[in-house]
Amino acid sequence: MSKIIGTEEKGGVVIISTEGYLNKDLALAVMEEASKHIDNGTINILINLSKSNIVNSIGASIIIELIEKLQEVNGSLSFCELPSIIEKTFKIMGLTKYCDTFENQEAALEQLT
Amino acid sequence: MSEANPTVELKLPIIENMELVATQTSEVVSKHMDLSEEKTSEISMALIEACINAFEHSETKSEIYIHFIISDDRLTIKVIDKGKGFDTSNVKIPNIEKKLKSNERKRGWGILLIKELMDSVDFESSNDGTTLTMVKNKINNE
């Protein structure tokens, strides 16, 4: 139902692309994937949500844990291609104060690399 | 609201991700009411949070019930559980600054999200369960 559909590294940025409902299971999978790269020294994470159309607050809470983990290593978390309802949800929760959001992956990489 | 208002009723078992069944229903109802895409997705998001709250916090083992009450100017959704209830005056507004860099649990956003996404929200809670009533108006109130 929901999964990570790709992980790649470009110019020191790890791009994690997801598909489906950003619930607890998918957020934990993103956390695990991101953590592997953070532990190996890549501390800029970009999550591409173009194929995830809905989130819940449990998934978003795990994203807050990822922000916390990245703050500990002076890393950054960014999002691209957020569906408007996910962006609105993140804004209500205050996540967007701690993450950059980009219209698309190209714009994100131009800024982040 | 008259008793003639068409109502769609759902009964959901407490099974992971069953909240998506509720959102599929709300999308059909929203389309029937000709609600905008934005309002439709806000309703879905609020409904997800309402279901998760009912699943997790009510500690009920039985089903939850959702009523979609259609009227000309608004959609009223009732999410009903038969769980332990909660003190509505004791709900804290979460703050991300406090949650970051602290041991505070990162959860607890559901009610804030529901209130922000819907036009009105009301809780009735007792030892016999909780009824959350939330309304989305068809036209924005300016």
**Chain B residues lying within 8 Å of A67, measured CB to CB:** 100
Are residues A29 and A4 in contact, defined by beta-carbon separation less than 8 angstroms? yes
- Residues of chain A with Cβ-Cβ distance to B100 below 8 Å are 64, 67-68, 71, 98
ipTM score: 0.92
DSSP SS3 for B32: helix
Lowest mean pLDDT across A81-90, A98-107, B1-10: B1-10
Domains of chain A plus CATH, in order, are 3-108 (3.30.750.24)
Q: Return the higher-pLDDT residue of B90 and A60.
A: A60
Give the distance between the most distant pair of CA atoms in chain B.
52
pLDDT tens digits in sequence order for chain B, 142 residues long: 556 899 999 999 999 899 999 999 999 999 999 999 999 999 999 999 999 999 887 777 789 999 999 999 999 999 999 988 888 777 788 889 888 877 888 888 999 999 999 999 999 999 889 999 999 999 876 5
Query: Per the CB < 8 Å rule, is A57 touching B44?
Result: no
Mind listing the domains of chain B with CATH numbers?
14-137 (3.30.565.10)
Report how far residue B88's alpha carbon sits from residue B38's, in angstroms, rounded to the nearest whole number: 28
The beta-carbon neighbor of B17 closest among A1, A64, A83 is A1
> Residue A100 — φ and ψ, nearest 5°?
-85, 150
Cβ of B88: how many Cβ atoms within 10 Å?
13
Contact B68, B29 (CB under 8 A): yes
pLDDT band at A28 (very low <50, low <70, confident <90, very high): very high
Average of per-residue pLDDT across A29-37: 98
Please enumerate residues of B whose Cβ is less than 8 A from a Cβ of A: 17, 19-20, 23, 38, 41-42, 44-45, 48-49, 52, 94-97, 99-101, 106-107, 109-110, 112-113, 116-117
Task: Output the furthest CA–CA distance in chain A (Å, rounded).
Answer: 33
Best probe of the A interface among B100, B111, B115, by most A CBs < 10 A, is: B100
Pairing of strands A44-51, B74-81: unpaired
Handedness of CA A47, A50, A55, A57 (dihedral sign): positive
Residue A40's φ and ψ, nearest 5 degrees, are -90, 5
**Closest-CA residue in chain A for B19?**
A56
